[in-house]
Amino acid sequence: MNEMRKRKQKEMQQKNWWSYALLAAAIFVYTQGCSLIKTNIGYSLPVILLSFIMHLRSVGDLARRIFKLKESKKANIAMLIALAAVAIICYLKEFNIFSILLFNLAAVFVYVITAAIFSKHNKEQ
């Protein structure tokens, strides 16, 4: 039973649209969590942490497929730091949902830029 479930899960993750759907869900969940952080921190923190996991699973795969970049732990850390900084700033100052969405997309671009830098650096060595 467990082997069948893992096999189906692996088949689903190999579909072309899976990472896009997971990233869209991660962006939605993160945006909603950051918009609620000022009023209800008890509900928003688990939501934000879940979105971190979803970002990690999807952004690396999309960067590998679209930009032909290797998945990088350093780029993951840079993206998570950017997302955590946005969440802290949203706790201190209230932003509208569109601004949070732009900050989230900027964090994804931080991943791509950092992965490109480290990928180029590793090729030179």
Q: What is the mean pLDDT of each run of 10 residues along the chain (125 residues)?
A: 81 82 96 93 94 94 89 93 96 93 96 90 70
Residues with Cβ < 8 Å from 41, sequence gap 6 or more? 91
> What does the pLDDT read at residue 120?
78
> What does the pLDDT read at residue 125?
66
> What does the pLDDT read at residue 121?
75
Nearest to 81 by CA among 116, 64, 56: 56
> What does the pLDDT read at residue 26?
97
Give the phi and the psi of residue 107 in degrees, each rounded to 5: -65, -35
No. of H helices and E strands in the chain? 5, 0
